[in-house]
């Protein structure tokens, strides 16, 4: 097949850079245009130095984007929804990495984001871009939403027990790296404030819970605490679950294998010993894998499940490329086979 012409709007940030890195290894992809108002006319390696010598493209302005086959939108939250009709005239497949199209219901969007959705009609046509929960609806889609990185880790940690109706109550302890805050520094992500920290910034009610409930069932009783730690890339979700019945380790193995044995990017990490017996986000740097695992508190019967991801790949750009592959009928793993780094 002819290479797919793929453009990226808002390509100066971390997710735009990761999409470019992944597409450079995709045999069916040709990067056509990458936009940045601030860096217009400059080479993309000015923002993404790892791409020097690999991609000979200069940033262009958003209003210069020409017709293409796939368009990735990497704009700030709230921008894509107001402009989506314009972008849909440019490409038959749009993948938006913001939160604008993640929730199916305009009412739920208003509840969680405290404002009315600017384009409910487009929202009704969007498909959620996490293949592990929505693969069947991605084939042939024309508008795909990105995923929340924290939501991805929580969803995959909880899914085997949630699908079996075994969760009575779950609390997710989520630890995140600084790249989750984006490329532009803020009062909370400025290096002198962010380094050497373990700082909880959302004690409860994080808006990514809306995606978890949508993915696993609105009746799910789940909350989360999100803590920034001294790590650049990665999310680690540790879910403490009160189950509806007491479970044994062999039952957990059956549940997790049943949920994930056929998933190309989900690995079960639940060894009895060793330094890597549970998921570790550092092992996943640059990878589209999600490592999941579990343990049981034998005293109380409480189940602890885990999920580790690279927030910029499986939690953003990797899931977006994976969704693109499915939508276009390409092998799902195309361009996404990098195994991660060790040590990192």
Nearest to 178 by CA among 233, 238, 224: 233
Neighbouring-strand partners of residue 202: 226
* Catalytic one of 74, 149, 172, 307: 149
User: In angstroms, what is the C-alpha Rg of the chain?
Assistant: 20
- Write down how long the chain is: 344
Instruction: Give the separation between CA 187 and CA 69, rounded to whole angstroms.
Output: 38
Beta-bridge mates of residue 171: 223, 240
- In the residue annotation, 149 being an active-site residue is answered as yes
Angle at 72 between CA 66 and CA 75, to 5 degrees: 100
Three-state DSSP class for 135? helix
Output the six-digit token pair for 333.
Answer: 């793993």
Query: Alpha-carbon torsion 174, 180, 186, 189, what sign?
Result: positive
- Looking up tokens 């056929």 gives 262
Among all chains, which residue has been given the structure tokens 């978890």? 212
Q: How far apart, in whole angstroms, are the C-alpha atoms of residue 281 and residue 229?
A: 12
Task: Give the separation between CA 163 and CA 40, rounded to whole angstroms.
Answer: 47
| Active-site amino acid positions | 149
């Amino acid at each position: 097949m002819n290479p797919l012409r793929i453009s990226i709007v808002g390509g100066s940030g971390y997710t735009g850079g990761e999409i470019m890195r992944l597409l450079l290894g995709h045999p069916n992809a040709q990067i056509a245009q990458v936009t940045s108002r601030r860096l217009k006319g400059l080479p993309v390696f000015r923002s993404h130095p790892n791409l020097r010598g690999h991609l000979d493209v200069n940033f262009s302005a958003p209003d210069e984007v020409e017709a293409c086959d796939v368009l990735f939108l990497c704009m700030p939250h709230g921008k894509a929804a107001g402009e989506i009709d314009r972008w849909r005239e440019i490409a038959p497949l749009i993948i938006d990495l913001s939160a604008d199209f993640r929730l199916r219901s305009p009412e739920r969007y208003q509840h969680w984001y405290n404002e009315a959705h600017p384009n409910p009609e487009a929202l009704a046509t969007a498909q959620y871009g996490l293949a592990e929960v929505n693969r069947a609806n991605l084939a042939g889609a024309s508008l795909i939403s990105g995923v929340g990185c924290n939501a991805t880790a929580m969803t995959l940690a909880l899914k085997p027990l949630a699908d079996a109706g075994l969760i009575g109550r779950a609390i997710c302890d989520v630890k995140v790296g600084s790249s989750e805050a984006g490329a532009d520094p803020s009062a909370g992500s400025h290096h002198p404030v962010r380094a050497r920290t373990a700082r909880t910034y959302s004690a409860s009610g994080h808006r990514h819970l809306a995606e978890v409930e949508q993915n696993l069932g609105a009746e799910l009783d789940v909350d989360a605490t999100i803590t920034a730690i001294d790590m650049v890339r990665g999310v680690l979700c540790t879910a403490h679950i009160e189950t509806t019945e007491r479970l044994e380790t062999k039952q957990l193995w059956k549940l997790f294998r049943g949920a994930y044995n056929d998933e190309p990017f989900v690995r079960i990490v639940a060894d009895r010993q060793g330094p890597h017996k549970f998921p570790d986000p550092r092992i996943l740097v640059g990878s589209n894998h999600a490592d999941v695992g579990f343990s049981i508190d034998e005293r109380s019967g409480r189940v602890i499940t885990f999920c580790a991801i690279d927030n910029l790949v499986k939690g953003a750009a990797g899931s977006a490329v994976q969704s693109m592959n499915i939508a276009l009928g390409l092998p799902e793993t195309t361009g996404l086979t990098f195994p991660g780094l060790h040590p990192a």
